[in-house]
Structure 1
Amino acid sequence: MSEVDNPPRERTWFGHPPGLTILFLTEMWEMFSFFGMRALLVYYMTKRLDIHQEHASLIYGVYAAFVYFTPVFGGVVADRWLGKRKAVIIGGVTMALGHFMMASEALFYPALATIALGNGLFLPTLASQIEGLYREGDPRSKSAYNVYYVGVNLGAFIAPLICGSLGEAYGWHWGFTAAGIGMLISLVIYLRGSRYLPPETVRIDTRQSASKPVDRETFRRLAFLVGVAAIVVVFRGAYEQVGNTIALWADEGVNRHVTASWSIPMTWFQSLDSLVVFTATPLLLARWTRLAKRGIETPWLLKMAFGAATVGLSYLLLAGVAAWAETHGARANWAWLAGWFVLMTLGELYILPVGLGLFGRMAPEGFRATSIAIWFFAGFFGNLLAGALGTLWSPLTHGWFFVLIGCVAGIAATLLYALGLRMGHVEKRENTGLATMLSR
């Protein structure tokens, strides 16, 4: 077969452009480093650095918040000056340095700041390259973000098993070092596979911005995305408890013994979220595809509302388990925590990857990385809220704390549902609503 018959740009790996595999693997190892460090962070602060729980939860929340705050500026810098490739490389090197700095107790706070700064350049610019892999109208682009999200969670699944085990068994610093090595692997994959990625587009400079002002459609889309992000802030206040108070409950309130001589390491539970993601995602995508072929397609915002409601329900069920255990002066069986992770993650799949896809597809031309950054910016305020809520872990009983978190997720579900219904009316009246824009 000649090169004309089968041009390089038409090659596929696993049914998608090769570049998606490169981005998948790059993000997988970056998430290995991030979640490997995150699995250890609260335990490291409370057990090694002797930081009180309320203070440790607040530090965790502020750090996680800035992990999502810095991409707002990183996306703008990549769009306007550096370009995506340079931004990913500079960000990745900076993050690797920060992870290795975590091996020194004296550099704890500078290390957290270094990781957050590097993440600001790395995170939005990597995800923003997905849309450029597909031609306009390519149906595969609709599932690309879900495939990418599997890569995110594959790295997050492996990380606690390796970094967490090293940290618990041999010392926290060994776990942090493993996270830094994962970041270096991510960079090597990106550099070796960069030829498969979309070419750099002409960046917007100050003179271009002055000659081409933001039009009404661009402003309308960005304003809508900001509104959705504001609601996601509330949801993340509940969701981001996974590495914070849920990790503390796994240590304090859960009987992790499987046999008389072996108990489940506390960090391993954080792998369950990711395990459910990459096992359940193909099933959900197949179901959504079957429904779409029958003409049944749930609006994206209503999917997100269902996801937030499911997460809220999972916390309320966990509240019942925790309250029963406290009443009887016992620890909850580890199977309850495992079951909670399954239900919570099923809800997560209806909101986080769906929301990322919504932001990627609605992004105005020339503002793609900036739009993706807005999505991650919701994580900034969401993690600040999660950290603030985490300070109530010690004053409240575990049962009442989980009731509170379930209500927070329920508020987000209500707001997303209301906005979804409103956008449906706009779509019917003007035929230019959300679904029309997303189908372009």
Structure 2
Amino acid sequence: MLNNTSAMTNTQRTFFGHPRGLSTLFFVELWERFSYYGMTAILLYYLYTSVSDGGLGLSQASATAIVSIYSALVYMSGILGGWIADRLLGMRRAIFVGGVFIMCGHIALAIPGGISALLISMALIVLGTGLLKPNVSSSVGQLYARDDLRRDSGFSLFYMGINLGAFIAPYFVGTLGQKVNFHLGFSLAAIGMAIGLAVYLLAGRHLSAEGLRPANPIPRGLMSAFGSRISIFIAGLGVLVLILGPTGLLTVSTLVNTVTICSVVLPIVYLILMLRSRNTSRIERSRLLAYVPLFVGAVCYWVVNEQSSSVLAAFADQRTNSVVFGFHVPSSWFASLNPIATIILAPMFAYLWFRLGARQPSTPTKFVFGLVLGGLSFVIMAGPALLHGTDTPASPIWLVASYFLVICGSMCLSPVGLSATTKLAPAAFQAQMMSLWFLAPAAASGINAQLVQLYSPEMEARYFLGVGLAVIAAGGLMILVGNWSRRRMVGIK
């Protein structure tokens, strides 16, 4: 095993006082997020824009549903990617293979190939993101000894790379895609990932040698049996596609419904297995039960947050006055509001919780704030239709206010949920509890795949009010179950 202390001694103060490997992972993640958020900034518009204008000509309901299941699959793929890294490839190889898949996925979209190219792209980007995302984050942790005081600061810098990539992507990929050609926009996303891969190949030597080996490799004697099972599964999937294809059952609707069911059932199964496990003690089981309301609350919050690339993107494109000071703002640029708000608000909330210290609200109470703010971000979006009708373009200020409210909610809920997940996790399921946490936005996206199909200009006010008030009501329920949850967090504050 690599001696982390000596490694850090040799490389310290090369990237803002941190190990040199942090700069490698910072820029890999920056360019991966550039490619992903650049692609999502124009994906919805590509799906519902008419074929004559370079799009696929899908209905808006189908387009928003596809964007939602895309998001759900990306979140769920992290479980598979983590398993492949731990058992087969090791984290460093998983990152590289994932980056190659992502780049090929964007290339598939860059080639005019219709629905077939879209499905191939989705499969490649989902699998690639599952391999890359969780393992890049884990690799950051490997750069530091457990007691290294720079660890939290290093993750903060890494987090800035994520948001910087997400911030700049819509201005480049979005502008090229909407102003010139969608496929050129997707090409730029592929170039972004290619730059990230180049950085990784040139500077990967600065990363921990631990990541080169699987943490828990499959024994050699079992590899052939494992390979046979994978082959049987892939063959069975292929036969299923061949059977369903000619019958007309393999449709976008079938795919959407399947992903919705899987995204909701998977975390339930995950949680039940941990609750019934012999490795879970009585106290740990109590803490898991305390975690259930937090998880459900997180799903409700992410139902709102995850609609930024579907319903809010459609609102930006079709209902927003995009002329600002005489300049026509591409609707894809509004996708940068989320990372802008995060960059501004994250340090403010971190300082707030630090200053409050022991006086800060409990975890369930912070979740209440997050849900109420998230719900309000949708409630105010009913304002344009209620005040001026749906025939008058809305001021962009409505979207700006909505994004800042929902990110304020995220600051109350998301980092707090991550912390609670690590504190309430049974000792035998530390890593799997983190996977469970990331299934909350996956479940929300699966639910959204059904929900967003209800959105239309005619239903606009009722849609935003209905979803927003439902999320606020979830915050009210959290108040009622907060004491119950706190009592079961045995020994945990």
Q: Mean Cα displacement is larger for which, 161-170 or 188-197?
A: 188-197
Task: Give, in angstroms, the shift of residue 38 of structure 1.
Answer: 0.3
Contact 1:72/1:376 (8 A) holds in 2: no
Amino acid of the structure 2 residue aligned with 1:304: F
* 1:275 corresponds to 2:340: yes
Task: Give, in angstroms, the shift of residue 425 of structure 1.
Answer: 2.8
Which structure 1 residue ranges, 5 or more long, are not aligned? Answer: 208-212, 436-440
Question: Aligned runs of 1:38-117 on 2, under 5 Å?
Answer: 38-47=40-49, 48-106=55-113, 107-117=117-127
Task: Give, in angstroms, the shift of residue 182 of structure 1.
Answer: 1.3
Amino acid of the structure 2 residue aligned with 1:164: G
Match of 1:406 in 2: 468
Contact 2:301/2:471 (8 A) holds in 1: yes
Q: For 1:332, what is the secondary structure of its paired residue?
A: coil
Match of 2:397 in 1: 335
The whole-number CA distance in structure 2 between the counterparts of 1:313 and 1:216 is 38
Contact 1:64/1:383 (8 A) holds in 2: yes
The whole-number CA distance in structure 2 between the counterparts of 1:376 and 1:310 is 21
Match of 2:215 in 1: 203
Judged with a 3 Å threshold, the aligned counterparts in structure 2 of structure 1 residues 215 and 368 are, in CA distance, closer, same or farther, namely: closer
Contact 1:32/1:179 (8 A) holds in 2: yes
Match of 1:438 in 2: none
Contact 1:131/1:361 (8 A) holds in 2: no
Match of 1:241 in 2: 307
The whole-number CA distance in structure 2 between the counterparts of 1:141 and 1:54 is 44
Pairing partner for 1:215 from 257, 265, 279: 279
Judged with a 3 Å threshold, the aligned counterparts in structure 2 of structure 1 residues 339 and 354 are, in CA distance, closer, same or farther, namely: same
Q: For 1:203, what is the secondary structure of its paired residue?
A: coil
The whole-number CA distance in structure 2 between the counterparts of 1:338 and 1:359 is 31
Q: For 1:102, what is the secondary structure of its paired residue?
A: helix
TM-score, normalized by length of structure 1? Answer: 0.84
Q: Mean Cα displacement is larger for which, 298-307 or 164-173?
A: 298-307
Task: Give, in angstroms, the shift of residue 368 of structure 1.
Answer: 5.7
Judged with a 3 Å threshold, the aligned counterparts in structure 2 of structure 1 residues 316 and 152 are, in CA distance, closer, same or farther, namely: same
Write the deviation string for residues 65-88 of structure 1: whole angstroms up to 9, x where unpaired. Answer: 111121122222222332211211
Judged with a 3 Å threshold, the aligned counterparts in structure 2 of structure 1 residues 361 and 126 are, in CA distance, closer, same or farther, namely: farther
Judged with a 3 Å threshold, the aligned counterparts in structure 2 of structure 1 residues 68 and 103 are, in CA distance, closer, same or farther, namely: same
The whole-number CA distance in structure 2 between the counterparts of 1:31 and 1:196 is 20
* 1:264 corresponds to 2:329: yes
Q: Mean Cα displacement is larger for which, 368-377 or 269-278?
A: 368-377
Write the deviation string for residues 167-190 of structure 1: whole angstroms up to 9, x where unpaired. Answer: 011100111011111112222333
* 1:425 corresponds to 2:487: yes
The whole-number CA distance in structure 1 between the counterparts of 2:338 and 2:485 is 31
Match of 1:22 in 2: 24
The whole-number CA distance in structure 2 between the counterparts of 1:85 and 1:250 is 39
- Count of paired positions: 420
Task: Give, in angstroms, the shift of residue 50 of structure 1.
Answer: 0.8
The whole-number CA distance in structure 1 between the counterparts of 2:318 and 2:30 is 30
Q: Mean Cα displacement is larger for which, 156-165 or 352-361?
A: 352-361
Judged with a 3 Å threshold, the aligned counterparts in structure 2 of structure 1 residues 21 and 298 are, in CA distance, closer, same or farther, namely: farther
The whole-number CA distance in structure 1 between the counterparts of 2:368 and 2:410 is 10
RMSD over aligned CA atoms reads: 3.2
Q: For 2:307, what is the secondary structure of its paired residue?
A: coil
* 1:178 corresponds to 2:185: no
Task: Give, in angstroms, the shift of residue 259 of structure 1.
Answer: 3.4
Write the deviation string for residues 310-346 of structure 1: whole angstroms up to 9, x where unpaired. Answer: 111121112123321217x422112222222222222
Judged with a 3 Å threshold, the aligned counterparts in structure 2 of structure 1 residues 273 and 158 are, in CA distance, closer, same or farther, namely: same
Amino acid of the structure 2 residue aligned with 1:334: P
Match of 1:152 in 2: 162
Q: Mean Cα displacement is larger for which, 296-305 or 222-231?
A: 222-231
The whole-number CA distance in structure 1 between the counterparts of 2:140 and 2:315 is 37
Q: Mean Cα displacement is larger for which, 132-141 or 84-93?
A: 132-141
Question: Aligned runs of 1:372-411 on 2, under 5 Å?
Answer: 372-394=434-456, 396-411=458-473
The structure richer in helix per residue is 2
Higher relative contact order (CA 8 A, sep 6+): 1
The whole-number CA distance in structure 2 between the counterparts of 1:50 and 1:334 is 26
Which structure 2 residue ranges, 5 or more long, are not aligned? Answer: 50-54, 220-276
Task: Give, in angstroms, the shift of residue 51 of structure 1.
Answer: 0.4
Q: For 2:57, what is the secondary structure of its paired residue?
A: coil
Contact 1:142/1:357 (8 A) holds in 2: no
Task: Give, in angstroms, the shift of residue 397 of structure 1.
Answer: 2.1
Write the deviation string for residues 117-155 of structure 1: whole angstroms up to 9, x where unpaired. Answer: 111211222223344444445555456555443322211
The whole-number CA distance in structure 2 between the counterparts of 1:93 and 1:196 is 19
Judged with a 3 Å threshold, the aligned counterparts in structure 2 of structure 1 residues 248 and 335 are, in CA distance, closer, same or farther, namely: same
Contact 1:84/1:125 (8 A) holds in 2: yes
Match of 1:307 in 2: 370
The whole-number CA distance in structure 2 between the counterparts of 1:193 and 1:123 is 16
Write the deviation string for residues 240-288 of structure 1: whole angstroms up to 9, x where unpaired. Answer: 110101111112211121234x221111111011111112222222232
Task: Give, in angstroms, the shift of residue 198 of structure 1.
Answer: 7.1
Percent identity over paired residues = 33
Q: Mean Cα displacement is larger for which, 187-196 or 282-291?
A: 187-196
Q: Mean Cα displacement is larger for which, 413-422 or 73-82?
A: 413-422
Match of 1:285 in 2: 350
